[in-house]
Amino acid sequence: MDAIFDLFSLLGGSARTKLLLLGSSDFRTEEVMDRARSLQIEHVSPAELTRRGISRSRGPADGNEASTLALLRRWFFSRKPDAGFVLTDFPATLLQAKVFDEWLDARGEEIDAAVAGSGAAGPVVGHYRTLGLLVEGACAAR
């Protein structure tokens, strides 16, 4: 678990931290989530936004990438710019990652890091690795 705390210490451990958790949940991403909750950082995922009733449409459950993008766009542009978040299950595709980058640019924001869980899409992982945002080794096995 020390590796997870090292991740947050690298990022300053602030409630303004903006993280992406790529791929499916595993013990590493669960530890990140536990730490994020302790810092009171908002956890966001397309499934959670649908449950909250933010979207009146069917949302990402229908498998439509446009619906997922619309749902997350609504959340992203309605939040306070300095508020931190941990975003899971998004971006799941390279297209979503590039669109998310455009949203960040439009608001003059940056994410602090991306952490790849098991099953993370290779092109998405490669995208964040190329940008220098992929944290590798900080979430190594205990």
Q: What is the CATH number of the domain that holds 25?
A: 3.40.50.300
Asked, for residue 40, whether it belongs to a domain, the answer is: yes
The alpha helices in the chain, defined as continuous H runs, are 2-10, 27-38, 46-52, 65-78, 94-107, 122-130
Asked, for residue 26, whether it belongs to a domain, the answer is: yes
Q: Please give the pLDDT value at position 63.
A: 56
Asked, for residue 105, whether it belongs to a domain, the answer is: yes
Asked, for residue 37, whether it belongs to a domain, the answer is: yes
Q: Please give the pLDDT value at position 3.
A: 45
Asked, for residue 27, whether it belongs to a domain, the answer is: yes
Q: pLDDT under 70 in the chain at which residues? A: 1-15, 24-40, 52-63, 136-142
Question: For the chain, what is the domain count?
Answer: 1
Strands in 42-44's sheet, in edge-to-edge order, are 42-44, 85-88, 18-22, 113-116
Domain region containing 25: 2-130
Asked, for residue 136, whether it belongs to a domain, the answer is: no
Using a cut of 0.85, tell me whether the model's pTM lies above it.
Answer: no
Q: Please give the pLDDT value at position 141.
A: 37
Average pLDDT of the chain is 75
Are residues 99 and 3 in contact, defined by beta-carbon separation less than 8 angstroms?
no
Q: Which structure tokens are listed for 81?
A: 């710019």
Asked, for residue 80, whether it belongs to a domain, the answer is: yes
Q: Please give the pLDDT value at position 122.
A: 93
Helix (H) or strand (E) holding 87: strand 85-88
Q: Please give the pLDDT value at position 106.
A: 95
